[in-house]
Structure 1
Amino acid sequence: MAAKEEANQPKLVPHLVVDDAAAALDFYAKAFGAEEMVRMPGPGGKLIHACMQINDAMVFLNDDFPEFNDGKSSTPTALGGSSVTIHLHGPDVEGRFQRAVDAGATVVNPLEDQFWGDRYGVLRDPFGHLWSLAETVREVDMNEVLAQMASGS
């Protein structure tokens, strides 16, 4: 049977590894309005795959399975942090930021107006992943942005 044409459309999908994927799905729904699309339990109740949609983008996640990763955990907590930040851009950044904090996210950088024109802040979710949230609040000419960067302001 041939795959549906849309199944093979090019896309980039972040794939998060967490401890307690079921709890993570609940958190992401409360914090970011994620809509769960798929939940595939595996042996012992751990989730081998899940898919959710946030801001019309898919995000995959699963429980940590060190046995399939050379015996090493690959959660941000086990690795001592995350080198990736997932960015959510859109209106009502104040409300979206507070919703995530109320759901259990920790503020890394509070929301502030930035020289590049966005109101921007960073959160860490309870599973160790970083999320930046932003809303464009003013249009800024790229020459102004470059001048601000060059001056160190």
Structure 2
Amino acid sequence: MAIDVQPAVTPHLVVDDAPAAIDFYVKAFGATEIGRVPRPDGKLIHAALQINGAMVMLNDDFPEMSDGKSMTPPALGGTPVTIHLTVTDVDDKFQRALDAGATVVMPLEDQFWGDRYGVVLDPFGHQWSLGQPVREVSYDEIQHAMSQA
């Protein structure tokens, strides 16, 4: 029997305290937990959530699986990746993330490309941007705005 596989790109986050991260993502982004696989000591080797209609996977940090090095953003000195959420009611969603424990990286503001947009850092070191399209902007307008920066 063949398994139907749909192409996808799925963020897979490494965190310290995966159960706490799941709780945060539920509070901050309205995540729905799909499932988790703990090992006998309780650390999660796999968890899956749905956030904003998309799958996000995560697991606890296992330095023993990466040459003894922690793979969490704090251990690595930050993250070069931002996970973007296009949402409705961005002001409400942004505040919800802050109320859950996120911190502001970039304040929520109307941007020249037509979105109301801001960036938060979750308590586990992962960066999330939230944006809501608020007006149509042509490519020429974006190029002009960039040339004025």
> What are the Cα deviations for residues 99-144 of structure 1, in whole angstroms up to 9, with x where unaligned?
0000000011110010000000000000000000010111111100
Residue 3 of structure 1, CA deviation: 4.9
Q: After TM superposition, what 4+ stretches of structure 1 lie above 6 angstroms from structure 2?
A: none
Alignment-mate amino acid for residue 4 of structure 1 = I
Change (3 A) 1:83 1:117: same
Give me the identity figure in percent. Answer: 66
1:114 and 2:114 aligned: no
Q: Measure the CA separation in 1 of the matches of 2:2 and 2:32.
A: 24
Indicate the residue corresponding to 1:32 in structure 2.
29
Indicate the residue corresponding to 1:97 in structure 2.
94
Q: Measure the CA separation in 1 of the matches of 2:32 and 2:2.
A: 24
User: Number of paired residues?
Assistant: 149
1:136 and 2:130 aligned: no
Q: Measure the CA separation in 2 of the matches of 1:3 and 1:85.
A: 35
Indicate the residue corresponding to 1:15 in structure 2.
12
Indicate the residue corresponding to 1:151 in structure 2.
148
Residue 78 of structure 1, CA deviation: 0.3
Indicate the residue corresponding to 1:73 in structure 2.
70
Q: Measure the CA separation in 1 of the matches of 2:70 and 2:40.
A: 17
- Point out where structure 1 has 5 or more consecutive residues left out of the alignment: none
1:47 and 2:39 aligned: no
Alignment-mate amino acid for residue 86 of structure 1 = I
For the aligned residue pairs, the C-alpha RMSD in angstroms reads: 0.8
Alignment-mate amino acid for residue 79 of structure 2 = S
| 3-state SS in 2 of match to 1:44 | coil
